[in-house]
Amino acid sequence: MIRDLTASTPVLDAPAPTRGRADRTQYVIVEPGGWNLHHSQWGASAVLADIVAGPEFAIQRISARHKSEPDAWFGDTECEAGLLVDPARRVLLFFGAHRQVMHLDLRAALFQVLARTWPGWTVLWAYGGLADLRAYVGAERRSEDSPAAIPLVDRRAFPVSVSQFKAPWWSDSIGTLVTVRHAAGAVLVHSLDRELAPVWEGPALVGRMPPGAHQLDAASWPACGVHLDLGRRAVSLWTASTFPGWRGGRFRALWSGWEVTFWQDRIGDQLVAAGGAVRVPPVRLPAGAVRLAHLLRDAWGEPVTVPELAWLGGLTPVVGPVFAEGVSAQALAEDASSPTRTERREVFAILHGIAAAGTGG
């Protein structure tokens, strides 16, 4: 079950540790009467390997990370991933992994595995990023979460010319898929740069985009999407990553007078709203299972010759053009621990079942 966490807690500024550029990750373990905060410089690419074997290993991994003071939260634009485990309420809340974007086949396979390895738990993707983790524990909110602020990455997002704003047409890479239903009913499709956050432009976005197309056949999935219905004054958005600050007062002020809908990671809602103007590849669970199995095999140093990985022979993961996956060397150097042999076998058996069910094998 993937749900949006909508709780919000108004809080004050708090200092954050100073870090160099890295794959920064924040971790929280909720305990009776409180919670403990941990951090990692390089852990973002290892989040899936941290959680996929179940709560016991996840708590072990988090506990081994660097302990932080309770007020030592990273800023939202400084943190690539976050992970919270609440054993009493049986809640797993996380975001990130693989430089934030986790494409849809891998997401689908991952959440099927988590449903098996975290039985009885509520598994949540933190669409608001680190702010969702802070809100969960009632921690102090940093200044960039305040209604008057736009996340720093978005302050830089809007270019002087539309040539900087659009995705390169020589590539099949789509960052943000923007579809616009004009008042007369026609839909235009705009493929925008993956590094920008056009939704923070507000309604002025309509005049900032490069020329649109009436039909788009995409070779890969976008990282996120925005649909504008100009006649209804409605904006809808989804993401395979996070939209920090989208619930805040600044975002609502930008879209004042507009109906705002959040589709979580449901690209299908945008495809329906666009009335067939966009076609993307179907989400294939077997492909996601193969990707996840390869990732975990590398992360855990699992020999390819072990019997439970025999089904992977000859199956190469297909990785999209805007997707960097795999646990980094820095993350492995920081913590190369792995689940027990029994836990690893269970995870690979689940992935084998997913792949076999989808292929008829």
Q: What is the pLDDT along the chain (361 residues), one digit of tens a residue?
A: 333 333 332 222 222 333 345 689 999 999 998 999 999 998 988 999 999 999 999 999 999 999 999 999 988 778 889 999 999 999 999 998 655 457 788 899 999 999 999 999 999 999 999 999 999 999 866 544 443 344 433 434 444 334 444 544 444 567 889 999 999 999 999 988 755 578 888 998 888 888 899 999 988 888 889 999 999 999 999 998 888 888 888 888 999 999 999 999 999 999 999 999 999 999 889 989 998 998 898 889 888 788 888 888 767 665 543 344 577 888 888 888 899 999 999 999 999 999 988 654 4
What is the CATH architecture of 25-144? 2-Layer Sandwich (3.30)
Q: What residues contact 306, with CB distance under 8 A and at least 6 apart?
A: none
CB 312 within 8 A of CB 132: no
- Cα–Cα dist 2/4, whole Å: 7
Q: If you compute the radius of gyration of the chain from its CA atoms, what whole number of angstroms results?
A: 20
pLDDT number for residue 101: 59
Return the H-helix or E-strand segment holding 314. none
Q: Which fold has domain 158-279?
A: Nucleotidyltransferase; domain 5 (3.30.420)
pLDDT number for residue 153: 37
The ranges of the chain annotated as CATH 3.30.420 are 25-144, 158-279
State phi, psi for 4 to the nearest 5 degrees: -90, 135
- Cα–Cα dist 47/295, whole Å: 11
pLDDT number for residue 98: 54
pLDDT number for residue 196: 58
Q: What residues contact 58, with CB distance under 8 A and at least 6 apart?
A: 50, 51, 83, 85, 92
pLDDT number for residue 175: 82
Pick from 16, 139, 155, 36: nearest CA to 87: 36
- Cα–Cα dist 318/105, whole Å: 10
